[in-house]
Amino acid sequence: MKVASIFLLNKKQLVYKEGEKELSHLCFDLSKRYKKVFLLIGPNIKKRGYELKIKDTLEKFHLNVFVYVSSSSEPSVEMVKEGYLSFKENDCDCIFAIGGGSILDLAKAIKAISANKSKPFFGLLKVKRNKVALVASPTTAGTGSEATLVSVIKDEDKVKKTIISPRILPDFIYFNPAFLSSLPKEVASSAGLDAFTHAVESFISKGGSYSTRKNAKKSLLLFKDNFLGFIDDRSDYSSAMNMLLSSYYAGLSFTRAYVGYAHSIGHALGGAYNIPHGLAVIHSLLYILPKYGSTIKKRKKQIEEILGIDISLEAYISSLLKKCEISPLNLEIDENKAMDLALLANKETIPLYPVPKIFDIASLAKFIKEIGEGRYEN
């Protein structure tokens, strides 16, 4: 069924859930306003043929479809330009992206460049208005990219840069739990823990509000009831759908309340040591929570109540890592490298993230070394 019309940052998102009937509703809605769809997928989606049913249904409603298969790697400026050139040459007016966070980020960036042409679009609120529609259909339950106004793209120097604008927020979302059924267990675990980290960090954020905490709470409730069952059986459509929704609500929360040090440190560690994003941030979250001390005492207690646990939040995270068979990072990080990573984490955090407590560079370097070594305070 069509879930709702979600208003986010003054933009309306139409959300469609599983099922042939709802896919038909979506395609019918698209056919009323658009003529040619740029169906953007990665090689894994192409291999499994997930796009075929969508292509057939779009064509049933007299929409022309051009299928574009992109690399599954993290999107770069070159990939954005190549995608936009194909989008333009094929005279498309709607992007339908099926994939994980990288494909959805690429789709958002193609929409941005289609609006700005040769003008800069990196940074805050640089994207111009245009009429290109964006449909996001996530194939992992973790990034929440379908609910956020951010796209992360590597520039020519392989430095990650962000596009932040409500004008790249997807107009339509299509959730199909069947897309998650072939996920490897380790990928499903990492993605789910990323969604959990989004929910926790947005809940404790100083930039949070009643609305963002309400969405974070929805995410945490869905996570606690479905995560472990989902990673054990990704073909369980009920738990898969609920994890998609958990990721989505976490995305709705953190796109307004932002994240914190777990993400900035996680980004630095993940980039330097090729650690899957979800693992990098959950290890960083486990470490950083005690460091916040009394500044998050009230919010942490509320999270523990939401999760229905009689142990600390840190102990709960440790139990999740054990059940998922996730080991400590076991990295040997020398002091110079730790300082370099601390500078990166600090640059990302300040002044963008409204963290509960600000740490100096030396403290961050110490934290990074200890996260690498797996030294946690539970």
Which pLDDT score is estimated for 378? Answer: 58
Residue 309 has pLDDT above 80, yes or no: yes
Burial 186-198 (b: 16+ CB within 10 A, else e): ebbbbbbbbbbbb
The answer to whether 59 touches 1, Cβ cutoff 8 Å, is: no
Tokens of 196: 């959990």
Residue 185 CA from chain centroid, whole number: 18
Distances in Å between the alpha carbon of 174 and those of 2, 11, 42, 224, 344? 9, 17, 17, 23, 35
Which residues make beta-bridge pairs with 2? 16
285-298 confidence digits (pLDDT tens): 999 999 999 999 99
Q: Quick one: fold of 183-373?
A: Dehydroquinate synthase-like, alpha domain (1.20.1090)
pLDDT of residue 119 exceeding 90 = no
Query: Using alpha carbons only, what angle is made at residue 45 by residues 326 and 88, rounded to the nearest 5 degrees?
Result: 125
pLDDT higher than threshold 50 for residue 84:
yes
- Residue-wise pLDDT for 16-44, tens only, equals 887 678 999 999 999 999 999 999 998 88
- pLDDT for position 116: 87
- Residue 1: is its pLDDT beyond 50? no
Q: What is the pLDDT of residue 274?
A: 87
With bands split at pLDDT 50, 70 and 90, how would you rate the model's confidence at 11? low
Residue 319 has pLDDT above 90, yes or no: yes
Q: 117: which residues sit within 8 A by CB, 6+ positions away?
A: none
Residue 2 has pLDDT above 50, yes or no: no
Q: How many CB atoms lie within 10 A of CB 361?
A: 12
The model's pTM: 0.92
pLDDT for 5 equals 39
CATH 1.20.1090.10 maps onto the chain at 183-373
The mean pLDDT of 131-142, rounded to a whole number, is 96
Query: According to the model, what pLDDT value does residue 122 have?
Result: 87
- Taking only the tens place, the pLDDT of each residue in 323-362 is 999 999 999 999 999 999 999 999 999 998 999 999 999 9
Contact 133, 87 (CB under 8 A): no
Q: From CA 96, how far away is CA 40, in angstroms rounded?
A: 6
Contacts (Cβ under 8 Å, ≥6 apart) of 370 = 287, 376
Which amino acid is residue 133, in one-letter code?
A
Question: Tens of pLDDT along 208-263?
Answer: 999 999 999 999 999 999 999 999 999 999 999 999 999 999 999 999 999 999 99
Q: Percentage of residues in the chain with pLDDT exceeding 90?
A: 80
pLDDT at residue 73 tops 80: no
Mean pLDDT of 68-87: 90
How many other CB atoms sit within 10 Å of the CB of residue 296? 25
pLDDT band at 6 (very low <50, low <70, confident <90, very high): very low
Domain with CATH 3.40.50.1970 in the chain: 2-179
**CATH 3.40.50.1970 is the classification of domain 2-179:** yes
